[in-house]
């Protein structure tokens, strides 16, 4: 049985060995998995917000924002010898319905778009996704097989 690494909100992890990367509580947040199957390298970030430019903190929590999380995961994987990176994403739900939906309240959609833009900028192909909707998700990436298991509240389990 592979070791399970839990990734909390705004956190990330990178591994060079067979592991299960798991994060729970993906509502409007997006789980980003970037991996090199052939080299056995894998990573996951639990992205909360689309853009680090909105941060008021002097030191930015790298895993918190789509732009910084994707950049950091790619950098660390490449330092570890990754060549053929691929990505999978899940999450980005619209958890709350507002009577007057302002663009700033559509965090899930904005997170999805920002993650996809960051992946595209890094030239990482997005090979699978399960995004949007109105329900939260828990995801597990099995690095040895490349399977992403997604448990969606009130929906069930999906594997991509």
Instruction: Tell me the C-alpha to C-alpha distance, in Å, between residue 41 and each of 20, 21, 61, 89.
Output: 12, 12, 22, 17
| Domain ranges within the chain, ordered by starting residue | 3-159
Residue 60's pLDDT is 73
Residue 110's pLDDT is 94
Residue 99's pLDDT is 52
Catalytic site includes residue 29: yes
List all residues 6 or more positions away from 89 whose beta carbon is below 8 Å from its beta carbon: 30, 31, 32, 33, 112, 115, 116, 119, 126, 128, 129, 130, 131
pLDDT in tens for each of the 160 residues of the chain?
789 999 999 999 999 999 999 999 999 999 999 999 999 999 999 999 999 887 776 667 899 999 999 999 999 999 999 999 999 999 999 877 665 555 556 899 999 999 999 999 999 999 999 999 999 999 999 999 999 999 998 889 999 9
Which CATH code for domain 3-159? 3.30.1330.200
Residue 106's pLDDT is 84
**Beta pairing, strands 137-142 & 41-47:** unpaired
Residue 58's pLDDT is 63
Residue 103's pLDDT is 57
Q: Are 138 and 25 in contact (CB under 8 A)?
A: yes
User: Is the torsion defined by CA of 16, 144, 117, 28 positive or negative?
Assistant: negative
- pTM of the predicted model, to two decimals? 0.93
Q: How far apart are CA 94 and CA 107, in angstroms?
A: 7
Choosing from 13, 29, 32, 107, the catalytic residue is 29
Mapped onto helix, strand or coil, the DSSP state of residue 86 is: strand
């Amino acid at each position: 049985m592979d070791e399970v690494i839990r990734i909390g909100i705004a956190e990330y992890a990178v591994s060079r060995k067979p592991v299960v990367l798991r994060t729970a509580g993906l509502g409007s947040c997006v789980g980003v998995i970037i991996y090199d199957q052939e080299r056995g390298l894998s990573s996951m970030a639990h992205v909360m917000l689309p853009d680090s430019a909105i941060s008021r903190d002097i030191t930015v929590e790298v895993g918190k924002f789509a732009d910084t999380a994707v950049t950091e995961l790619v950098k660390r994987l490449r330092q570890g010898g990754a060549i053929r990176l691929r990505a999978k994403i899940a999450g980005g739900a619209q958890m709350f319905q507002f009577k007057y939906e302002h663009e700033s309240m559509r965090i899930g959609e904005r997170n999805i778009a920002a993650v996809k833009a960051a992946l595209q900028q890094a030239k990482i192909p997005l090979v699978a996704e399960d995004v949007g909707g109105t329900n939260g998700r828990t995801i597990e990436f099995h690095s040895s097989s490349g399977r992403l298991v997604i448990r969606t509240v009130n929906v069930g389990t999906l594997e991509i």
